[in-house]
Amino acid sequence: MCRSRPPPGIMELVTEANTAAENEAKTRADDESVQAANEGPQAANEEPQASRKRFDKTTLALSLLIAIGLVLVGRGLAVSLTGDARAKLPDTIEEVDPYPEAVQVLSQTRVFVDLDAGYTGVLVIDGVELPTISIEDVDQQFEAEPGQQIDLPATTIFEPGNYTLTFTPSDDALVKKFDTGLHRAQVIYWKIIEGRQRPLSYSWTFSVI
């Protein structure tokens, strides 16, 4: 049995059509392969970039919090109760308590001034001058024996041996306690041998919680 060949013209048309279709399909497949190959690395790169963006935002937020914390710590140290360097006390005053600009002071805290040798004075709290009594006068008034405990008057106590002035708020004192907020203390002091004719003065503030 023999098979007749198609006419040459028909065979040529079919071959060209098939070849064109095959070439088009191959070209489309190649384009899709190239596109997939390009999109693969791009998609892979997008995920790390998104992670880096999230990481950068987190790092920025943490850095900001750390910076704020350092500022607050610096401020706390600047006004802490150990701020001798910030006090800039006069040469004739060794120490004051609470320290100037101290914060978180208790309502019943004492006001203390350590004067240079040979000085005495009075304390003024929020504009109220407190009477001052020498500890020696207290001992004589109560005829205290050495080592005997006595109740001190509710006012400023001056200790001649140490040249200190101390006042502690109490119910019997002119200042019963320190209310919450800012308070102003002042010491007016002078040389004992000269009297109060030529006094010196130093003022400072502190905050009560």
Task: Please report, for the chain, the start and end positions of each structural domain, with discontinuous segments joined by +.
Answer: 1-78, 84-208
Q: Specify the CATH number of the domain 84-208.
A: 2.60.40.1220
Q: Rounded to 5 degrees, what are φ and ψ at 52?
A: -65, -40
pLDDT tops 60 at residue 100: yes
Handedness of CA 129, 140, 195, 109 (dihedral sign): negative
Average pLDDT over residues 6-17: 49
Output the pLDDT for position 48.
Answer: 57
Tell me the average pLDDT of the chain.
79
> For residue range 74-99, what is the model confidence (pLDDT) as tens digits?
555 544 444 445 568 999 999 999 99
Helix, strand, coil abundance in the chain, percent, nearest 5: 40, 25, 35
Highest mean pLDDT among 13-27, 30-44, 182-196: 182-196
Q: Does the pLDDT value for residue 150 go beyond 50?
A: yes
Among 120, 113, 78, 101, smallest CA distance to 207 is for 101
**Quick one: pLDDT at residue 197?**
94
Provide the terminal-to-terminal Cα distance of the chain, rounded to the nearest Å: 117
Q: Which one has a higher pLDDT value, 174 or 23?
A: 174
3-state SS class at 94? strand
**C-alpha radius of gyration, the chain, whole number:** 45
- In sequence order, what E strands does 44-143 have? 93-97, 102-105, 111-115, 119-125, 128-129, 132-134
Percentage of residues in the chain having pLDDT higher than 70: 60
Q: In the 8-state DSSP scheme, what is residue 156?
A: E
| pLDDT at res. 122 | 98
Looking at per-residue pLDDT, the higher value among 142 and 119 belongs to 119
Sign, CA torsion 177/182/184/185: positive
Give residue-wise pLDDT tens across range 57-75. Answer: 777 777 777 877 775 655 5
What is the tens place of the pLDDT at every residue in 162-179? 999 999 999 999 999 999
